[in-house]
Amino acid sequence: MTERDETSRTTLATPMILWDLPTRIFHWSLVVCIAGSYLTAEDGDLELHQTFGLCVIGLVLFRIMWGFVGSEPSRFTTFLRGPTAILRYLRAVRSGKHPSIPTHNPLGALSVVALLAILLVQAGLGLFATDDIFFEGPLNGWVSYDMAATLTGWHHLTFDGVAILILLHLVAIGAYAVLLRIDLVSPMVTGKKLVKPEDRVPDPRMAPLWLAVVLAGVAAGLAYGLTLIG
């Protein structure tokens, strides 16, 4: 084999499964429901706003369960790392040796958890919110008038945090594409990531689809249940 053949062999990247179908459906449905929540709130269509908001709750509940029992790359134990691992990762990126990681990188993992948490708080506060005229969230009756006004104020305020985190998320993805020439978006669409032979690790363990369907049913039931207990 010539030296040239050897070089092209080692740089030949092959696809490897990264994000399973449930994680991808979760992600793109979340994008649609957040856009829907925002646009309906701006339009004052609060019935539809609540429907999108309840879908956000269902999606986040699903993702939390999937983070414990789902496919290996989507599990919290796979991607949540301590400060030492984050610093090691940042040092590697600074020195130009970007490690190929078959899940979220240690820094991205923090933004994933922050996004899930703030979205749950945002939608959770919405359950108690009211526009003081026509519409009340399903749990508004559980709190006093003054408390509902406070929680509605927080619902508005928290959205600033949601918007900032989403902006950071998009800037980070753009920076990976432009500065590091790493395409994170295609794997979130196709599920597959291109890996060079030298970076290849054994294929991750994938959870069965039926488990995702059961958990999605549980999450949807819990979210819908919120409209019944108020």
Q: Which residues bind ligand HEM (CB under 6 A)?
A: 23, 26-27, 30-31, 34, 37-38, 41-42, 46, 49-50, 53-54, 56, 63, 74, 104, 108, 112, 115-116, 122-123, 126-127, 129-131, 135, 137, 152, 155-156, 159, 162, 166, 169, 173, 184-185, 188
* 182: amino acid identity, one letter: I
- Supply φ then ψ for residue 14, to 5 degrees: -120, 150
For ligand HEM, the closer CB: 87 or 167: 167
- Could you tell me the smallest distance in angstroms from the CB atom of residue 127 to ligand HEM? 5
- Could you tell me the smallest distance in angstroms from the CB atom of residue 82 to ligand HEM? 18
Question: Residue 34 in contact with residue 119, Cβ under 8 Å?
Answer: yes
- Could you tell me the smallest distance in angstroms from the CB atom of residue 138 to ligand HEM? 6
The structure tokens listed for 195 are 């890996």
- Residue 147 CA to residue 124 CA, distance in Å, equals 14
For ligand HEM, the closer CB: 10 or 32: 32
Tracing tokens 């927080």 back to the chain, one arrives at 154
For ligand HEM, the closer CB: 7 or 224: 224
- Could you tell me the smallest distance in angstroms from the CB atom of residue 39 to ligand HEM? 10
- Could you tell me the smallest distance in angstroms from the CB atom of residue 145 to ligand HEM? 14
For ligand HEM, the closer CB: 188 or 218: 188
- Supply φ then ψ for residue 207, to 5 degrees: -85, 150
Instruction: Output the CA torsion sign for 7, 9, 12, 14.
Output: negative
- Supply φ then ψ for residue 225, to 5 degrees: -55, -30
- Could you tell me the smallest distance in angstroms from the CB atom of residue 7 to ligand HEM? 28
For ligand HEM, the closer CB: 6 or 221: 221
- Residue 69 CA to residue 165 CA, distance in Å, equals 26
Instruction: Output the CA torsion sign for 80, 182, 167, 189.
Output: negative
For ligand HEM, the closer CB: 2 or 152: 152
